A and B are shown apart, each in its own frame.
Chain A
Amino acid sequence: MPPAERTRLHRTALLVLPALAALGVGILLLLAAGVPPFEALWRLYEGAFGDGGDVANTLMAWVPLVLAAAGLCVTFAAGAWNIGIDGQITFGAISAAAAARLVPGSTAVVVPAVVLAGLAGGALWGLAAGVLRTHGGVNEIFGGLGLDFVARGLAIYLIIGPWQREGVASTGGTDLFRREAWLPTVGSTNLSILALVLAIAALAGTVVLLRGTRFGLELKAIGKGPASAILLGVDATRRMLWSFLICGGLAGVAGAVQAIGFHHKLVPAVSGGYGFLALLVVLLVGFRQAWIAPVALFFAAILSGSTQLQLRLDIDSSLGGVLQGVLVLLVLLARGWQLRRDRSTVAVVGSPTGEAV
């Protein structure tokens, strides 16, 4: 077999085999739980794409995932592990909630204001993580993790404090936003065209940014050879901070969508774990942007399908998370195994720049 074909076969095998293995694991788990596996998988599919409402839910799970994943591609390009993305979503949601509560006017006025507020809030939170790295020498993994929890704490404080519900201060969330501050949807479903547009625009925008602009090229240089990049005249610190700003901004938009499109109020877990899930997506596609949209759809389908699974078959919805996690793990292991046998490169799986922490 000619070498070019062999590598393509190799690469496909690296994706297909782990996928099948993940499926196998899922089936085993279902059997262990005493659930007929194929019926469960069918229900999972049905839950994601069964009827219009289901598809809408899946797409609305797809939106924040894509926004966050697109943003992560930017920070990863610069060689940074932005674990703080979940906190950036949260803070974006907080800012969006503030706007939803404060900005008067009709939907046409409030909604854009809310989205912009989310963008700004997320960007600010991203910048915080970036500054900790560039000026504080704090690894963005721990800085980001810390900021994740600070954001969460802030949300809780607002929910039980200044923004508490009338009478009862509940950690369940604030009061619902007024109707004008809700994301307009299609028919009786949850689907928001605006949200879809934002997600697609974010994805397209980051692709253009990373592949077609000087900025993207400079980020790539910083990620792959920071010392050389600086010598060639790249302002590494500024670019790095901008990358965090951009990623945070996109995460903030995701937070805004979550706040006014899904919850319609501020809740403690407003980020929905989408930030972390987006990290999984990006790891799975090996930082290749072209694959984000379909893989994110797949993950979103599992996510929304598994909630239905819980409702209809009484199977814990965490099965979805298990499937996602097993898939990513197996793909990483497969790629690592592949690299182990290829001694010519210094690349490391799960590390866009070939370096460890």
Chain B
Amino acid sequence: MTVALTGITKTFGSVRANDGVDLVVGDGELLGVLGENGAGKSTLMKILSGFQPADSGRVSIDGHQISLASPADAVAAGIGMLHQDPLVFLPMTVLDNYVLANPAQGDRRRGRHELAAAAGRFGFGLDLDTPVRRLSIGERQQLEILRLISLGVRVLILDEPTTAISVTQRAVLFAALRTLATDGTGVVFVSHKLEEVEELCTRVVVMRAGRVVGERAVPCSHDELVELMFGRRVDPEQRPPSLVGETRVRLEAVSVTDPLVPLHPVDLEIGAGEVVGIAGLEGSGQRQLLRACAGLTPFASGRFTLDGTDLTALPYRDRLTLGIRFLTAARIEEGLVEGLTVTEHVALVDDSGGGFVDWDEAERRADNRIERFSIRGMAGSTAESLSGGNQQRLLFALLPDRLSMLLMEHPTRGLDLESARWVWATLLERRGDGTAILFSSSDLDELLIHADRIAVFYAGEVVDVVEARLIGADRLGRLIAGAGRAAG
């Protein structure tokens, strides 16, 4: 069975997630789809597996066009998707999850028999009677694979499956995928991890900014793949070292426990007015570090000091009073309040005492900030009515004038060029105030141009901390992709 995607296009607002993508996968193939975050891989796979409709383009099987209105349609056509965090019923047992609504399993006893046999065949050690919520992500994936196979899936898509599984489980998974390919099932392995794609796949398709930029047979040149993934970058001109003041923030052997990506001990120092960028593939620990520094999750070990004061166990709201602020990537879910106007937001963060709100004054202040921060919107506009760029401007407008430490997650994600430039111009001013800035980004240019130093994360660890002006884009890309780390 050959599955072909032709001319797939999908736009979200102003972002073109997929731009005329063509892809073919055939029987028994181990196809890798490689690309950075935001390259459009996930969107493409969601379309292929029926979770989302494409704006234009078609999906065909063996030359016949098919329509995919729902995941069930896709499965019926033989295409199944394994999510990073599979859609399972947590309180139910492994067997129940396998059998639920599975037409192939007439009765439970037969289902048990078949599941046990299949699990054994692939080397999956699954206890059929444990509730799935006690299973690790890797084991849940194993269950899902077996279920999809039993439904007669001929093309199995795996979306970033190795993000949260152990090394041993990864080995088991890869062995299973090879067995499947030998059986004639097509496997589409979507990932941003170069070395895994190199290890498993026979052919690689590289995506960038919504397009397919290259296709290679594996084995092939590693550097070539890196270049395709990240694009040829012009190294920023050597710039003089920026004036960084005394160390303000000290992270000593801090670690964070997390069910998905535990953060191993990290040492980092940030000086006054210094901008440190955190680079790394999605899910490498950046989020965990930022949230722990903000005080939203606790540090499992280590010390976090600001200007010499130990803040490791300080609750979130107390950190706010010390001038630590955190801007997340989810501007509406965890940033602005949907349904509240600009004026209301301004009034909300205003801590100049008083139980009563002077709405006239608040509106005046809101207008003032709208002007200062060039927000395209009115005092009475609700947060969700603003565009992404303006939402980000509003979030900045709500920050107090002086900050000790500013933490940001993907500060310019989804923003147009003008807004992105504006963000960094604003942040430059903050540097002058002596604020320590720590931000995560998946945009190499942003990291190279604006950061003083870059800490590269991989699989929950800091691989290296480099001076931005001294590192080249190629080497940075390689570090991010895990080069220089022994696999496992």
| A contacts B: CB pair < 8 Å | yes
Report A's interface with B, CB cutoff 8 A.
Answer: 212-218, 220-221, 224-225, 227-235, 354
Q: Is the pair A225, B336 in contact by a Cβ cutoff of 8 Å?
A: yes
A-B contact pairs, 9 of them (CB 8 A): A212-B356, A212-B359, A213-B357, A215-B355, A225-B333, A228-B336, A228-B338, A231-B296, A231-B328
Is residue B139 contacting chain A, with contact meaning CB distance below 8 A?
no
Query: Which 4 interchain pairs have the tightest Cβ spacing?
Result: A225-B337, A224-B339, A228-B337, A221-B337
Report which of B296, B332, B356, B398 forms a contact with A213, defined as CB distance below 8 A.
B356
Report which of A228, A233, A234, A354 forms a contact with B335, defined as CB distance below 8 A.
A228
Is residue B320 contacting chain A, with contact meaning CB distance below 8 A?
yes
| Besides the known contacts A221-B348, A232-B345, 18 further A-B residue pairs in the complex with CB atoms under 8 A apart | A212-B359, A213-B355, A213-B356, A213-B357, A217-B347, A217-B348, A221-B337, A221-B340, A221-B344, A224-B339, A225-B332, A225-B333, A225-B337, A225-B338, A225-B339, A225-B340, A228-B333, A232-B348
Q: Is the pair B344, A217 in contact by a Cβ cutoff of 8 Å?
A: yes
Report which of A217, A224, A235 forms a contact with B338, defined as CB distance below 8 A.
A224
Q: Is the pair B317, A233 in contact by a Cβ cutoff of 8 Å?
A: yes
Is residue B354 contacting chain A, with contact meaning CB distance below 8 A?
yes
Query: Given that A220-B340, A221-B348, A225-B338 are contacting pairs, would A235 and B317 also be in contact in the complex, using a CB cutoff of 8 Å?
Result: yes
A344 to chain B, nearest CB (A): 11
Is residue B326 contacting chain A, with contact meaning CB distance below 8 A?
yes
Q: Which residue of B lies closest to A222 (CB)?
A: B337
Q: Is the pair A233, B344 in contact by a Cβ cutoff of 8 Å?
A: no
Q: For window 310-325 of chain B, which residues contact chain A by CB distance below 8 Å?
A: 316-317, 320
A120 to chain B, nearest CB (A): 22
Is residue B349 contacting chain A, with contact meaning CB distance below 8 A?
yes
Is residue B199 contacting chain A, with contact meaning CB distance below 8 A?
no
Is residue B401 contacting chain A, with contact meaning CB distance below 8 A?
no
B393 to chain A, nearest CB (A): 16
Report which of A212, A234, A354 forms a contact with B348, defined as CB distance below 8 A.
A234
How many angstroms from the CA of A233 to the CA of B400 in the assembled complex? Answer: 12
Is residue B237 contacting chain A, with contact meaning CB distance below 8 A?
no
Q: Which residue of B lies closest to A220 (CB)?
A: B340
Query: Is chain A's interface secondary structure helix, strand, loop, or mixed overall?
Result: helix
Q: Which residue of A lies closest to B316 (CB)?
A: A230
A206 to chain B, nearest CB (A): 14
Query: Is chain B's interface secondary structure helix, strand, loop, or mixed overall?
Result: loop
How many angstroms from the CA of A232 to the CA of B335 in the assembled complex? Answer: 7
- Collect the chain A residues with CB atoms within 8 Å of residue B344's CB: 217, 220-221
How many angstroms from the CA of A233 to the CA of B315 in the assembled complex? Answer: 11
Query: Given that A212-B356, A214-B355 are contacting pairs, would A233 and B349 also be in contact in the complex, using a CB cutoff of 8 Å?
Result: yes
How many angstroms from the CA of A220 to the CA of B328 in the assembled complex? Answer: 21
How many angstroms from the CA of A232 to the CA of B347 in the assembled complex? Answer: 11
Counting chain B residues whose Cβ lies within 8 A of the other chain, the interface size class is 20 to 34
Query: Given that A217-B348, A231-B335, A234-B348 are contacting pairs, would A224 and B356 also be in contact in the complex, using a CB cutoff of 8 Å?
Result: no
- Collect the chain A residues with CB atoms within 8 Å of residue B339's CB: 224-225, 354
How many angstroms from the CA of A27 to the CA of B337 in the assembled complex? Answer: 46
Q: Is the pair B333, A232 in contact by a Cβ cutoff of 8 Å?
A: no
Is residue B418 contacting chain A, with contact meaning CB distance below 8 A?
no
- Collect the chain A residues with CB atoms within 8 Å of residue B107's CB: none
Is residue B62 contacting chain A, with contact meaning CB distance below 8 A?
no
Q: Is the pair B337, A224 in contact by a Cβ cutoff of 8 Å?
A: yes
A81 to chain B, nearest CB (A): 18
- Collect the chain B residues with CB atoms within 8 Å of residue A230's CB: 316
Query: Given that A217-B344, A234-B348, A235-B317 are contacting pairs, would A229 and B337 also be in contact in the complex, using a CB cutoff of 8 Å?
Result: yes
Q: Is the pair A214, B337 in contact by a Cβ cutoff of 8 Å?
A: no
Q: Is the pair B332, A231 in contact by a Cβ cutoff of 8 Å?
A: no
How many angstroms from the CA of A218 to the CA of B348 in the assembled complex? Answer: 7
Of B316, B337, B347, B359, the most chain A CB neighbours within 10 A belong to B337
- Collect the chain B residues with CB atoms within 8 Å of residue A216's CB: 357
How many angstroms from the CA of A234 to the CA of B320 in the assembled complex? Answer: 11
Q: Is the pair A231, B326 in contact by a Cβ cutoff of 8 Å?
A: yes
Report which of A212, A234, A354 forms a contact with B357, defined as CB distance below 8 A.
A212
Q: Is the pair B317, A214 in contact by a Cβ cutoff of 8 Å?
A: no
Query: Given that A224-B337, A225-B339 are contacting pairs, would A232 and B349 also be in contact in the complex, using a CB cutoff of 8 Å?
Result: yes
Q: Which residue of A lies closest to B350 (CB)?
A: A214
Of B296, B326, B351, B356, the most chain A CB neighbours within 10 A belong to B356
B152 to chain A, nearest CB (A): 36
Q: Is the pair A214, B357 in contact by a Cβ cutoff of 8 Å?
A: yes
How many angstroms from the CA of A189 to the CA of B132 in the assembled complex? Answer: 67
How many angstroms from the CA of A51 to the CA of B78 in the assembled complex? Answer: 78
Report which of A224, A227, A233, A235 forms a contact with B334, defined as CB distance below 8 A.
A227
How many angstroms from the CA of A216 to the CA of B347 in the assembled complex? Answer: 11
Q: Which residue of A lies closest to B328 (CB)?
A: A231
- Collect the chain A residues with CB atoms within 8 Å of residue B340's CB: 220-221, 224-225
Of A213, A215, A217, the most chain B CB neighbours within 10 A belong to A217
Q: Which residue of A lies closest to B358 (CB)?
A: A212
How many angstroms from the CA of A213 to the CA of B317 in the assembled complex? Answer: 21
Q: Is the pair B336, A214 in contact by a Cβ cutoff of 8 Å?
A: no
- Collect the chain B residues with CB atoms within 8 Å of residue A224's CB: 337-340
Query: What 1/0 flags go to B280-319 for Cβ under 8 Å of A?
Result: 0000000000000000100000000000000000001100
- Collect the chain B residues with CB atoms within 8 Å of residue A234's CB: 348
A54 to chain B, nearest CB (A): 41
Q: Which residue of B lies closest to A229 (CB)?
A: B337
